[in-house]
Chain A
Amino acid sequence: MNIFALDFPPVSHLFQWPDILFTGNEYIGLNKTGLIYIAALLLTAGLFWAAGRRRSLVPTGAQTVAEAGIDFVENSIIMQTIGPDGRRYLPFLTTLFFFVFFSNIFEVIPFIQFPANSRMAIPLTLALVVWAIYHVVGIRAQGFYQYFKGALFPPGVPKALYVLVTPIELLQILLIRPLSLAIRLWANMVAGHLLLVTFAVLSAALWGTLYVPAVLPFAALILVTAFEIFVSALQAFIFTILTAVYIGGSLHPEH
């Protein structure tokens, strides 16, 4: 695709990867996206394994990272949104946070440079898992009738407004929440990847012809790379905290 005389790769080539294992199989073909998810699994598991193996009183290295992660999820996410009874979900939310973060951060890892969550597969899958969890938690905590009554007929709303509010709330808990959760993560990663590719292609093209102007897009590339590291962590945080908010809402309808 030619844009301003630059050979910009077609968008599909930035996100779709050929299979390297089980080639061509629609169901189990393993491509770069799948490999990154496996890498995210290995990194998270490796981090916690290393953290649990050292067992020193003063934490260092992996132990610091794992413990800081747990501490962060517990104090900055669970205690802020669910409260002390949300501690039960700490392992799940910690796993969610690290898995999403590691899938994202490959966006800036040299030679890999692809955020696995810029493919819809895992954002949607995780969003559906979260969707199932907060419904189950709500039904178990309040009972089926009470849970849906509280969710669809929020107290304090004038009766006449239920005509408007109830369909919106129904759409919200059944469709909007999981979709917004998935699309937010996916779209952020797509945008970040496109930004990085744009500045990288621009830098490379200008470097080949006019050396001086390449400085600008290259500086922008460095800035965007730093920004994307931040976004990777931020989106993992947002995905996790929204999950906690939804679970908290199902546990304590009064909030």
Chain B
Amino acid sequence: MSRRLWAAAAVIAAVVALSASAASAAETVGSCILDEIAAAKFEGIEGEGFTAAKNLKTLAAAGDEHAEELKVALGDDLEGCFDAPNPIIPEIKEIVWGGLAFVVLLALMYWKLFPVVRNLMEQRTQRIQDAIDDADRQRSEAAEVKANYEAELADAKAEAARIVDEAREQAGAVRADLQARAEADIAEMRERAAADVEASKRQAIADLQSEVSDIALGAAEAVLGRSLEDPEMQRQLVDDYIASVGAGQD
């Protein structure tokens, strides 16, 4: 806020300084003529002093007899009020101040003002260029990362498919293995059962044979009414018979 006030005050001061000079120059041809009349000194004429009004009074009092003299005395001076100096001829004081201002400005610009702003511009250009380069680099990096990621993803998918296939295969193999083993077990159990059955059958037949021979012997004894003399020999006899009967049945 205060900075703006200072700036405004500086501008107003500059304008006043520059226009004050303008005001003091607000001279018209009329005022120039009056000045010339005031400054005029009339030789040979008695006057009251040297102001415009007094001089005009003097002129009026002088009358016609001095008319020619007055013309000569004033004419040249008044002519000057209409004269303008050659405007194309430069004034030395203006060259001095203008030239000094330009030289000082040039020195300031070369010394500090210009390079600072120029560097600022170049730094900005550099920064923008760097930002663009960086963005390009990052974009290509991102594309690379994406490509890698996609490749890895594809690999992972293939791997997953492979694992699933493998698992499926393994499962199939296990199933086949288990099935084969089960079938083998079943067959073995069936075989064993068959063998058991056969053994039991044989045992049963043997038991039956012994039982039958005992019963037959008992029956024979009962029929004959006596016991056979040599029981061992008799048993042998019966067994042979039964065996022959059994063989005949087979």
Whether A15 and B87, one on each chain, are in contact in the complex, defined by CB atoms closer than 8 angstroms, is yes
Contact with B along A127-165 (1 / 0, CB 8 A): 001000000000000000000000000000000000000
Whether A12 and B83, one on each chain, are in contact in the complex, defined by CB atoms closer than 8 angstroms, is yes
Contact with A along B75-86 (1 / 0, CB 8 A): 000000111110
Whether A39 and B18, one on each chain, are in contact in the complex, defined by CB atoms closer than 8 angstroms, is yes
By a CB distance below 8 angstroms, the chain A residues around B20 are 20
Whether A91 and B114, one on each chain, are in contact in the complex, defined by CB atoms closer than 8 angstroms, is yes
Whether A121 and B15, one on each chain, are in contact in the complex, defined by CB atoms closer than 8 angstroms, is no
Asked, given contacts A18-B21, A33-B98, A99-B105, whether A7 binds B121 with beta carbons under 8 Å apart, the answer is no
Candidates A7, A9, A41, A122; contact of B94 at CB < 8 Å: A122
* Bound CA span A63–B118, Å: 11
Whether B22 and A33, one on each chain, are in contact in the complex, defined by CB atoms closer than 8 angstroms, is no
Asked, given contacts A52-B120, A122-B95, whether A18 binds B109 with beta carbons under 8 Å apart, the answer is no
How many B residues have CB within 8 A of the partner chain? Answer: 54
- Nearest B residue to A58 via CB reads B124
Whether B15 and A111, one on each chain, are in contact in the complex, defined by CB atoms closer than 8 angstroms, is yes
By a CB distance below 8 angstroms, the chain B residues around A51 are 116-117, 120
A126 within 8 A of B: yes
A13 within 8 A of B: yes
Task: Tell me the residues in window 65-121 of chain B with beta carbons closer than 8 Å to chain A beta carbons.
Answer: 81-85, 87-99, 101-102, 104-106, 108-110, 112-118, 120-121
Contact with B along A36-49 (1 / 0, CB 8 A): 11111100110011
Asked, given contacts A45-B113, A70-B117, whether A32 binds B90 with beta carbons under 8 Å apart, the answer is no
Q: Name which of A21-29, A205-213, A223-231, A244-252 contacts chain B.
A: A21-29
- Nearest A residue to B116 via CB reads A52
Whether A92 and B106, one on each chain, are in contact in the complex, defined by CB atoms closer than 8 angstroms, is yes
A124 within 8 A of B: yes
B28 within 8 A of A: yes
Whether A28 and B117, one on each chain, are in contact in the complex, defined by CB atoms closer than 8 angstroms, is no
By a CB distance below 8 angstroms, the chain A residues around B121 are 67, 70-71
Candidates B87, B96, B109; contact of A28 at CB < 8 Å: B96
- Least Cβ distance of B138 to chain A in Å? 20
- Least Cβ distance of B23 to chain A in Å? 9
By a CB distance below 8 angstroms, the chain B residues around A40 are 101, 105
Q: Name which of A112-120, A167-175, A214-222 contacts chain B.
A: A112-120
Asked, given contacts A91-B110, A125-B98, whether A31 binds B21 with beta carbons under 8 Å apart, the answer is yes
* Bound CA span A106–B28, Å: 23
- Nearest B residue to A20 via CB reads B21
* Bound CA span A135–B14, Å: 38
How many A-B contacts at CB < 8 Å in the complex? 187
Task: Tell me the residues in window 115-161 of chain B with beta carbons closer than 8 Å to chain A beta carbons.
Answer: 115-118, 120-121, 124, 127
Candidates B14, B32, B114; contact of A48 at CB < 8 Å: B114
* Bound CA span A31–B120, Å: 37
B232 within 8 A of A: no
Asked, given contacts A35-B21, A91-B109, whether A121 binds B87 with beta carbons under 8 Å apart, the answer is no
- Least Cβ distance of B56 to chain A in Å? 21
B2 within 8 A of A: no
* Bound CA span A132–B60, Å: 61
By a CB distance below 8 angstroms, the chain B residues around A41 are 101-102, 104-105
Candidates A7, A70, A112, A122; contact of B18 at CB < 8 Å: A112
Whether A95 and B106, one on each chain, are in contact in the complex, defined by CB atoms closer than 8 angstroms, is yes
Whether B124 and A57, one on each chain, are in contact in the complex, defined by CB atoms closer than 8 angstroms, is yes
- Nearest B residue to A98 via CB reads B105
A5 within 8 A of B: no
By a CB distance below 8 angstroms, the chain A residues around B15 are 109-112
B186 within 8 A of A: no
Asked, given contacts A13-B25, A57-B127, whether A120 binds B89 with beta carbons under 8 Å apart, the answer is yes
B29 within 8 A of A: yes
For the complex with contacts A10-B84, A112-B18, 14 further pairs of A-B residues with Cβ separation under 8 Å are: A12-B85, A20-B17, A36-B18, A44-B109, A45-B108, A48-B109, A55-B120, A67-B120, A70-B117, A112-B15, A120-B90, A121-B94, A125-B99, A125-B102
- The 3 A-B residue pairs with the shortest CB-CB distance, nearest first, are A34-B97, A52-B116, A121-B94
List, sorted by A's number, 16 A–B pairs whose CB atoms are closer than 8 Å: A1-B82, A13-B26, A18-B25, A25-B93, A28-B93, A30-B97, A32-B22, A41-B105, A45-B105, A48-B113, A91-B118, A121-B91, A121-B94, A122-B95, A122-B102, A125-B95
